[in-house]
Amino acid sequence: MLLGPVTYLWLGKVKGEQFDRLSLLNDILPVYQQVLAELAKRGIEWVQIDEPALVLELPKAWLEAFKPAYTALQGQVKLLLTTYFDSIGHNLDTIRELPVQGLHVDLVAGKDDAAVLNNALPKEWVLSLGVINGRNVWRADVSSWFERLQPLVGSRPLWIGTSCSLLHSPIDLSVESRLDEEVKAGSPLHCKNVPSWRC
């Protein structure tokens, strides 16, 4: 996983004399190209590249920066453009013009309609749907998601994933052989929130 170049600059802080952070884009793209080339050389086929700024109402110049950035990054590995914590509908026109091979969206916090995304994106793209809540400890209700997503099966490559990083989710305590039993017994983390799901 790489933090995408546009979000990287968007999140950057300027110290001292003010300048346009976006002016650094062409300076950092060669570093991204080097990283992607090294990953390709090591046999990596897909790279998740996170651009959470795409859920924001970005200024026009920032939104327009995505296309040249991803044009510069294309070709070495397949790129899964990833967003989270909100919807992307307002930036969908920009997203579908990017030279990437897939899109991952957060369907838990975001209110995007999977069917709308499926119809709007290039058919050769993978559509990765974040339906497992990565921000809590509760088991996901995959049955309800399965019913909602079933009409999309077969229309394109579909991946099912987490809404975001599992940073806040518990591990499976049943595999913790060195953890004190008293600690295990008092822990609320007795079950995984990511069930096995095959379709």
Q: What is the pLDDT of residues 62-85, one digit of tens each?
A: 999 999 999 999 999 999 998 987
Query: 173 with 189: CB under 8 angstroms?
Result: yes
CB 117 within 8 A of CB 105: yes
Beta-carbon count within 10 A of 53 CB: 21
CATH match of 2-169 with 3.20.20.210: yes
Residues of the chain with pLDDT under 50: 188-191, 193-199
pTM of the model: 0.77
Identify the burial level of 186 via C-beta atoms within 10 angstroms of its C-beta, where 0-12 means exposed, 13-18 middle and 19 or more buried: exposed
Strands (E), 42-125: 46-50, 78-82, 102-106
| Contact of 6 with 71, CB cutoff 8 Å | no
Q: What is the pLDDT of residue 186?
A: 53
The edge-to-edge listing of strands for the beta sheet with 102-106 is 2-3, 46-50, 78-82, 102-106, 126-132, 158-162
